Homo-oligomer: A and B are copies of this chain.
Amino acid sequence: MQNTAACTRPDLPWEGRGTNLDISGCRFSLYPMDDRFISIILDSLQKTDTSAVWGGSDALSTVYRGKLAYVADAVRGLFVNAYRPDVHMALEGQFSKGCPGDTDGDSYLFENQPPPNQPRVQDKHFSVLCKIALYPLGCENYIDHIAYVYQLAESMGLHPASIHYATRISGDVHVVFDYLEEVCAYMQEVAAHYVLTFTVSVNSPTEERN
């Protein structure tokens, strides 16, 4: 289901906007807790193929836009390429599609090749901790979708656990990114507008009791 309700309210700052194009997006920030954070981020960007997404950065975050498969692939590539065994690092972001304030621009949609990064990073495995929160907007049965993606995490072996305001999962980095992409693929079928926020963390010095 596509978002068909473009916004025509003249009192809104995004008046007249809205898109029916197949544009997903991810806005994210990468946080290496390390003095070398600039070089870690720049090195990773250099290794990551972002040719299949539209990208923009400011001082707070980066956004990739395009078809879901390419957006998810670019974010995964960037995170795996930035990973260093000795650096505590977190990636915080939000996947989204269908915002009534969205536009037709700032996106690449005409790619037909396979996602470019996964083949390059798929053999690099490490464990990650992750928390997610799913926000289906504008629908009253939003709790049904949240329940579905909780159960999807269970079926993928990611051991979901409810915490206040979020769900925790954990597992191999690629299974977690597969899961995030699968949640987005599901949501764009069932909801006009959704947001999936996520935090992926590696090498935290905080020890947790099991």
Contact = CB atoms under 8 A, between A and B. Distances in A.
Q: Can you tell how many copies of this chain the complex includes?
A: 2
Contacts of A150: 12-13
Contacts of A31: 31, 33, 90
Contact of A92 (B137, B199, B206, B207): B199
Contacts of A9: 143, 147
A131 B59 CA distance: 10
A67 interface: no
B60 A27 contact: no
Nearest to A15: B147
B138 A63 contact: no
B129 A60 contact: yes
A208 B199 CA distance: 25
Contacts of A195: 133, 135, 165
Given A27-B164, A164-B106, A199-B61, A142 B133 contact: no
A133 B99 CA distance: 12
Interface of A: 7, 9, 11-14, 25, 27, 29, 31-35, 37-38, 56-61, 63, 65, 88, 90, 92, 94, 96, 99-102, 106, 129-131, 133, 135-140, 142-143, 147, 150, 160, 162-166, 168, 195, 197, 199, 201, 204-208
A165 B101 CA distance: 9
B94 A201 contact: no
A99 B160 CA distance: 18
Nearest to A167: B13
Contacts of A208: 58-59
Contacts of A164: 25, 27, 56, 63, 65, 102, 106
Contacts of A57: 206
A90 B29 CA distance: 10
A59 B135 contact: no
B27 A201 contact: no
A32 B205 CA distance: 14
A101 B206 CA distance: 27
